[in-house]
Amino acid sequence: MAVGISAANVATIWLNWLKGAAVTTKTANATYVELHTADPGAAGTTAVSVGSTTRLNILDAGWTSSSGGSALTMTAATGPWTNGGTPETVSHIAVFSAASAGTFYFSVALTTPQPWASGNTFTLNTLTVALTPLAA
């Protein structure tokens, strides 16, 4: 599976909404991010970082407001995570509705995978979420 929007937890709900199906209202979606060493897969559970399995709240970072279908962009950094002892390379993130368990919403590949040594920290400085293409 390539990174992207969860088929079961996001895409199916949006598509059924377009055909008129009732949709349960959700609040504070996609608030927690975790680190991965490879593509997180369809459920967001593959290759979770061993250095830190903690999910951090990305709502604390602040976000731009979306209007006219424009993207959301984080306005402050999230982190740091501290590597608890396992050298690895962080290459992806996954976004969930909760600090543990919760609903998987989407995953993203980092622009550049980051080597992460024992005791080092990792901070997510930027994240933009967009739905494209949009009709002009």
Q: CA 60 to CA 53: how far, in whole Å?
A: 19
CB 57 within 8 A of CB 31: yes
Q: What is the pTM of this model?
A: 0.85
Is the CB of residue 78 less than 8 Å from the CB of residue 93? no
What are the pLDDT digits (tens) for 91-123?
Answer: 999 999 899 998 898 999 999 999 999 999 999
Q: What integer pLDDT is reported at residue 12 of this predicted model?
A: 77
Decide if 118 contacts 86 (C-beta within 8 A).
yes
Percentage of the chain beyond pLDDT 90 is 51
Task: Quote the strand ranges of the chain, DSSP E.
Answer: 32-36, 56-57, 72-73, 78-82, 88-96, 104-116, 121-124, 128-129
- Dihedral sign for Cα 51, 74, 31, 4, please: negative
